[in-house]
């Protein structure tokens, strides 16, 4: 009794290998399409995002600071404290507040850039996962073009809220507090003399 020889098993394995090679080739083609489309998201692109953020918010911050500086100078002048040590402290406080807010804007710009990088990488990984599942390079290219278009849309920024609100008003409030016996701005205008003499009181 003889046995029929056959290569059915080997032929099936060979076909499976060929199919897998063809699949990997399509995935490679799709990966190249995705990489090419997403090549626009480079360091220059992300640096541009950070600059746009700073260009939008820094001028607003500077404008607010200039306005509050004028208001503070006027308030100090009205209360006779423009050249006093208390006045100098308030002006210094405002300058320090400006520096803190300026640093915050800079930090926010870096966070904005970092988020953009993360969004792009998440989109890229999602596209690659879809490609590995479908092995369809044409669909991958179309999806990459769509996602890249969405990601590259101009950013929309909200106006900067006034970060110096009420600073100049604190001067009048502080003087009033001193008149009532509280520390206030610590100008010493309403301090009673330690001994003898007449007290200096502004009405």
Say how far residue 27 (Cα) sits from the centre of its chain.
36
Q: Where are the domains of the chain?
A: 15-179
116 versus 188: the higher-pLDDT residue is 116
Q: Is the pLDDT of residue 69 over 60?
A: yes
Report the distance separating Cα 108 and Cα 100, nearest Å: 12
Q: What is the mean pLDDT of the chain?
A: 84
- Give the pLDDT of residue 5: 52
Work out the pLDDT band at 191, boundaries 50, 70, 90: very low
Stretch 81-102: mean pLDDT:
89
Say how far residue 196 (Cα) sits from the centre of its chain.
60
- Give the pLDDT of residue 169: 77
pLDDT in tens, 6-56: 555 578 899 999 999 999 999 999 999 999 999 999 999 999 999 999 999
pTM above 0.85, yes or no: no
Q: Is the pLDDT of residue 178 over 70?
A: no
Written as six digits, the tokens of 9 are: 């098993």
Q: Which residues contact 41 (CB under 8 A, 6 or more apart)?
A: 117, 120, 148, 151, 152
Q: Is the pLDDT of residue 203 over 50?
A: no
């Amino acid at each position: 009794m003889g046995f029929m020889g056959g290569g059915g098993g080997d032929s099936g394995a060979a076909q499976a290998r060929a199919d897998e090679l063809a699949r990997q080739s399509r995935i490679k083609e799709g990966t190249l399409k995705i990489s090419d489309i997403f090549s626009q998201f480079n360091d220059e692109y992300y640096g541009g995002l950070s600059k746009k953020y700073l260009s939008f918010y820094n001028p607003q911050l500077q404008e607010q600071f200039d306005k509050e500086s004028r208001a503070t100078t006027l308030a100090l002048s009205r209360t006779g404290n423009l050249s006093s040590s208390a006045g100098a402290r308030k002006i210094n406080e405002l300058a320090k507040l400006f520096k803190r807010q300026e640093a915050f804007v800079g930090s926010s710009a870096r966070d904005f850039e970092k988020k953009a990088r993360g969004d792009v990488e998440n989109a890229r990984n999602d596209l690659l996962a879809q490609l590995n599942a479908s092995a369809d390079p044409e669909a991958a290219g179309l999806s990459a073009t769509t996602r890249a278009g969405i990601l590259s849309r101009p950013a929309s920024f909200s106006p900067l809220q006034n970060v110096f609100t009420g600073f100049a008003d604190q001067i009048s409030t502080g003087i009033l507090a001193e008149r009532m016996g509280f520390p206030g701005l610590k100008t010493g205008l309403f301090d009673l003399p330690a001994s003898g003499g007449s007290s200096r009181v502004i009405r």
